[in-house]
A and B are shown apart, each in its own frame.
Chain A
Amino acid sequence: MDSLIFIYLGIGIIVFGAAYGISKIGAAGMEAMGRQPDIADKISSSQFVPMVLIEGATLFGLLVCFLVARS
């Protein structure tokens, strides 16, 4: 039961990190779009790639948590 607490803590930290990273991208993208409305299309589509990379790292972490929790 004790180890489960650490797993929950780990999940929280992972999600916190991912949310922080994606929020940074979102904020920067919004600002860029506000400054340059002409290329808003380009900016919003290029935001996807870093978001997805962050998500990938997050999922790795979460997967490890789930695997440890099940063992």
Chain B
Amino acid sequence: MQTIKKVIVHIILLALVFWWLPFSFSHHTEQEKSTDFIVEHTKDAHVAHFGGVNLYLPVILYQKGKGISLFSSRRLFNKQGHPSMYKDFKLENGRIVAMSGANVYDFSITKNVFFMFLSLVILLCLLLLFAWHYCRPTNKKVQGAAILLLALVKFIREDVARKNIGEKHYHRFTPYLLTIFCYILLNNLLGLLPGAGNVTGNISVVFVLAVGTFLMTNMNGSRYYWRHIFNPPGVPKFLFPILVPLEVLGLFIRPFTLMLRLFVNMLSGHLLLTTVIGLIFIFNNIAMAGIAIPFGVFILLLKIFVSFVQAYIFTLLSAIAMKNAVQQHEK
């Protein structure tokens, strides 16, 4: 009985995976140029498509002198779903512009922002529940899904924070490392859902994460760390004009590569997936689906692995940067 149940669950899961790749493309009309949607899927948008259902998100605009205007993004589309004009505003290449040519500041709740809020709610619920479950005095052992979270938290604390930063300082950095790890991991995985926002594949989001690491590193820098940059020990004086600017530049390059790595990895994965599925529409041939869908499923599974690896790498490199910042000179 147990085995039959397991087999049925696996078949349903597999069917879901196969069904959901074409499902995420079902909102495209035939008139569209076939290669347009490949890039469109990785971009931010004012409407979220879940298969046949469109979720119209609020638009918040600010104009100098005219103040704030707030309306649903449904008004930017006509009955046929084509972009149309509302008041003074128009959608142009996914960006809202004013017909009069004035500057418009866009503070809308776009797809990415919506999914960021969603991920925050999920994270708060999950982690607070887990913490409450874990801290209950009557509870002797952790059960159920909490085991997964416990494993992740323990892995970051022991294998990333304690092993890299060292026994003395790791307490200070563990909360930050856990925060970025959980946030990146959840957003990577959420980005794989059909119609979901590609949050970690957006360079502004990843930029803020990298700035967080940059600030955490440099605000905790020890005297030894700063002396190593501005007055490197054991280096002849005439090399200083070359070495010091290089070291200062290195301060900024490290978070920059951190940002670029996560961003390009997530974006290229999405592009690859949409391109493979897009082959069906480009060749306009149902037989292509026999090749494209299994290959797409393979890429999807690979991307689940990459999601974990990239979250781990971001946390690991942040931890190594922090180790460099707090370490003392050993004589």
Contact string, B235-278, partner A, CB cutoff 8 A, digits 1/0? Answer: 00000000000000000000001001100110010000000000
Contact A59 B264 (CB under 8 A): yes
> What is the count of residue pairs linking A and B with beta-carbon distances less than 8 angstroms?
24
Contact A63 to B313, CB < 8 A, known contacts A45-B159, A49-B320:
no
Contact B261 A48 (CB under 8 A): no
Contact A48 B313 (CB under 8 A): yes
Contact A55 B261 (CB under 8 A): yes
- In the assembled complex, the Cα of A52 lies from the Cα of B262 at a distance in Å of 11
| Residue in contact with B257 in the complex, picked from A45, A56, A62, CB distance below 8 Å | A56
Q: Say what secondary structure dominates the interface of chain B.
A: helix
- In the assembled complex, the Cα of A52 lies from the Cα of B316 at a distance in Å of 10
Contact string, B96-126, partner A, CB cutoff 8 A, digits 1/0? Answer: 0000000000000000000000000000000
Task: Report B196 CB to chain A, min CB distance, Å.
Answer: 23
* Total A residues in contact with B, Cβ cutoff 8 Å: 10
Contact A62 to B313, CB < 8 A, known contacts A49-B320, A56-B257:
no
- In the assembled complex, the Cα of A34 lies from the Cα of B268 at a distance in Å of 34
Task: Report B51 CB to chain A, min CB distance, Å.
Answer: 30
B317 proximal to A (CB < 8 A): yes
- Interface size range of chain B in the complex: 10 to 19
Contact B316 A49 (CB under 8 A): yes
Which residues of chain A are near B264, meaning CB under 8 Å?
Answer: 59, 62-63
Contact A52 B317 (CB under 8 A): yes
Contact A56 B260 (CB under 8 A): yes
- In the assembled complex, the Cα of A44 lies from the Cα of B39 at a distance in Å of 36
Contact string, B299-321, partner A, CB cutoff 8 A, digits 1/0? Answer: 00000000000001100110010
Which residues of chain B are near A49, meaning CB under 8 Å?
Answer: 316-317, 320
Give B253's nearest chain A residue, CB to CB: A56
- In the assembled complex, the Cα of A55 lies from the Cα of B262 at a distance in Å of 11
Contact A48 B260 (CB under 8 A): no
Which residues of chain A are near B313, meaning CB under 8 Å?
Answer: 48, 52
Contact A52 B159 (CB under 8 A): no
Task: Report A65 CB to chain B, min CB distance, Å.
Answer: 12
Contact string, A47-60, partner B, CB cutoff 8 A, digits 1/0? Answer: 01100100110011
Q: Which 5 A-B pairs have the closest CB atoms?
A: A56-B257, A59-B264, A52-B313, A56-B261, A59-B260
Q: List 20 A-B contacts (CB under 8 A).
A: A45-B159, A48-B312, A48-B313, A48-B316, A49-B316, A49-B317, A49-B320, A52-B261, A52-B313, A52-B317, A55-B261, A56-B257, A56-B260, A59-B260, A59-B261, A59-B264, A59-B265, A60-B257, A62-B268, A63-B264
